[in-house]
């Protein structure tokens, strides 16, 4: 079995099919890892969810756009004018697609090969084991009929902007979600900076890209979310896969066992 990881699809199916074909992806035997943000910006959101859901071997983590779709489906706020996933909300198989998306975690790791995938990354003060436990905790919230009704109305917001072990309830859930799905810059105390989305060449004063604060822990990290990086972290152990297809750049697919890459331009 070959294992491939792909960057943020953002609702565009044709580039995914193109890079999979070029890589010789065999859907009967190979496994596809997806770093989240499957939806929103492109026109093929429902088609992407159907395609990935039907793959025999796939691993998906939720991104902020995926959670935004689920929140809208739960009726906590109307879609934004820029949202493009009406094809999911109006699909005849809407409930099946949303249920499948709902079951996905915020972190996937393979203990045997020491590979871990999240949407935005893992902050420096969490070990992979701690991050896995927090992902599991949030997964229980999202798949519980009672707690999910509390989660989505409270999901949006920038506070608390720093992790504390004693956080509880919706504030705890929102903070976990923000680290896993919205993080780019952190300060040495672990606060999140939410405003800057550009390259890290000139970071806000006192802030660093999250991966620069993380020591090599023996794991190979894969993440998306930060399109402006174009995949460049300067580290071989932390690999960015969002190369900005939705912003006019390209989509990246990577064989995570051999390191080979394929790209498709916008």
Cα–Cα distance between 102 and 2 in angstroms, integer?
26
Q: Tell me the two tokens of residue 166.
A: 């004693």
Cα–Cα distance between 266 and 250 in angstroms, integer?
5
Overall number of domains in the chain? 1
Cα–Cα distance between 185 and 178 in angstroms, integer?
12
Q: Residue 11 pLDDT > 90, yes or no?
A: yes
Number of C-alpha atoms within 13 angstroms, CB side, residue 28? 0
User: How confident is the model over 229-243, as pLDDT tens digits?
Assistant: 999 999 999 999 999
CATH number of the CATH domain containing 56: 3.60.21.10
**Which of 21, 5, 25, 7 is CA-nearest to residue 254?**
5
- What confidence tier does 114 reach under pLDDT thresholds 50, 70, 90? very high
Cα–Cα distance between 172 and 159 in angstroms, integer?
10
Over pLDDT 70: what percentage of the chain? 100
Place of tokens 């902020």: 64
Give the domain extent around 186: 3-265
* Average pLDDT of the chain, as a whole number: 97
Task: Say which DSSP state 30 is in.
Answer: -
* Beta-strand relationship, 31-34 and 185-186: unpaired
User: How confident is the model over 30-82, as pLDDT tens digits?
Assistant: 999 999 999 999 999 999 999 999 999 999 999 999 999 999 999 999 999 99
Mean pLDDT of 102-107: 98
User: How confident is the model over 134-192, as pLDDT tens digits?
Assistant: 999 999 999 998 899 999 999 999 999 999 999 999 999 999 999 999 999 999 999 99
- Beta strand spans in 8-162 (E): 31-34, 58-60, 107-110, 115-118
Cα–Cα distance between 175 and 49 in angstroms, integer?
27
Question: Helix or strand or coil: residue 19?
Answer: helix
Tell me what pLDDT residue 202 has. Answer: 87
Question: Helix or strand or coil: residue 46?
Answer: helix
- 149 burial (CB, 10 Å; 0-12 / 13-18 / 19+) is exposed
* Beta-strand relationship, 220-223 and 107-110: unpaired
User: How confident is the model over 204-229, as pLDDT tens digits?
Assistant: 999 999 999 999 999 999 999 999 99
pTM: 0.98
Cα–Cα distance between 62 and 37 in angstroms, integer?
7
Mean pLDDT of 18-30: 98
Cα–Cα distance between 20 and 25 in angstroms, integer?
5
């Amino acid at each position: 079995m070959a294992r491939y990881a792909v960057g943020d699809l953002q609702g565009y199916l044709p580039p995914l099919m193109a890079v999979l074909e070029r890589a010789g992806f065999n859907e009967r035997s190979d496994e596809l890892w997806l770093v989240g943000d499957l939806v929103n910006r492109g026109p093929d959101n429902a088609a992407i969810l159907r395609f990935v859901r039907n793959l025999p071997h796939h691993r998906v983590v939720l991104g902020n756009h995926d959670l935004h779709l689920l929140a809208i489906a739960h009726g906590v706020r109307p879609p934004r004018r820029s949202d493009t996933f009406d094809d999911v909300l109006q699909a005849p198989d809407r409930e099946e697609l949303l249920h499948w998306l709902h079951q996905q975690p915020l972190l996937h790791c393979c203990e045997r090969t020491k590979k871990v995938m999240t949407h935005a990354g893992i902050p420096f003060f969490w070990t992979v084991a701690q991050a896995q436990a927090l992902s599991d905790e949030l997964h229980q919230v999202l798949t519980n009929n009672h707690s999910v009704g509390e989660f989505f109305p409270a999901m949006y917001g920038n506070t608390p902007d720093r992790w504390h072990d004693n956080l509880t309830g919706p504030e705890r859930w929102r903070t976990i979600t923000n680290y896993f799905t919205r993080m780019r810059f952190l300060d040495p105390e672990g606060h999140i900076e939410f405003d800057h989305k550009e390259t890290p060449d000139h970071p806000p004063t006192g802030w660093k890209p999250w991966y620069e604060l993380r020591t090599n822990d023996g794991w190979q990290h894969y993440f998306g979310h930060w399109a402006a990086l174009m995949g460049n972290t300067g580290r071989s152990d932390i690999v960015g896969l969002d190369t900005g297809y939705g912003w006019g750049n390209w989509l990246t697919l990577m064989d995570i066992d051999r390191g080979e890459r394929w790209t498709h331009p916008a």
